[in-house]
Chain A
Amino acid sequence: GAGVSQSPRYKVAKRGQDVALRCDPISGHVSLFWYQQALGQGPEFLTYFQNEAQLDKSGLPSDRFFAERPEGSVSTLKIQRTQQEDSAVYLCASSLGSSGTDTQYFGPGTRLTVL
């Protein structure tokens, strides 16, 4: 079946612009996660949804970052007034349930470059 998809795959923004990154999780997956991966580093957690509820947003680096999942499926990560340090790959992952043993399946990521 279809895996996690993300769009766009690449995004170039001028500093100060707003961007919106989309994630389509695997159908039926309850949990959805966003991670940020800087060049040469491991992914770092941003936020977590269980269905439409955002249960953990402790990793969002500033109030310029906002995520939503209004109908419990597709999610959007929005970054307002982008800055150069926001340049990274943004990875979305989904899992079937919400237990600690559930495997998270990742999308291909969106590479954001802020000029």
Chain B
Amino acid sequence: AQKITQTQPGMFVQEKEAVTLDCTYDTSDPSYGLFWYKQPSSGEMIFLIYQGSYDQQNATEGRYSLNFQKARKSANLVISASQLGDSAMYFCAMREASGAQKLVFGQGTRLTINP
């Protein structure tokens, strides 16, 4: 069964520093997608970045990049030059290509950016 693990319940970072949020996953499906979402206090889940299991290069979207290490089954999110507005919950999620279409989420990491 697919599973996502986020081991950092909370992280505190100084503004303008880079931050890495950890995510490990488990699946037996060779084809899958990995997603990161941001959930501010308003509650809406905001899509940040996607990585496919067969993608050769790490995904990047502006200040977000995904450090994908397939052999280790990890998909860490890196935020460069953090901003106060980055303070939020961050969720890693996975979707297997075969079978169910659902996203399976981790427990989340609460990121706080200090001025």
Q: Do A and B bind each other?
A: yes
- Within 8 Å by CB of A55, from B32, B45, B46, B101, lies B101
Q: How many residues of B contact A (CB 8 A)?
A: 29
A-B contact count (CB 8 A): 70
Please state if A43 and B105 are interface contacts (CB–CB under 8 Å).
yes
Please state if A100 and B43 are interface contacts (CB–CB under 8 Å).
no
Complex Cα distance, B100 from A55, in Å, reads 9
Interface bracket on A: 20 to 34
Known: A31-B101, A42-B106, A108-B42. A103 touches B32 (CB 8 A): no
Known: A33-B102, A100-B97. A91 touches B50 (CB 8 A): no
Known: A56-B101, A100-B95, A103-B35. A42 touches B108 (CB 8 A): yes
Of residues 84 through 113 on chain B, the ones whose CB sits less than 8 Å from some CB of chain A are 91, 93, 95-98, 100-108
Interface presence of B47 (CB below 8 A): yes
Known: A42-B91, A42-B108. A98 touches B44 (CB 8 A): no
Q: B111 to nearest A CB, angstroms? A: 15
Please state if A111 and B43 are interface contacts (CB–CB under 8 Å).
yes
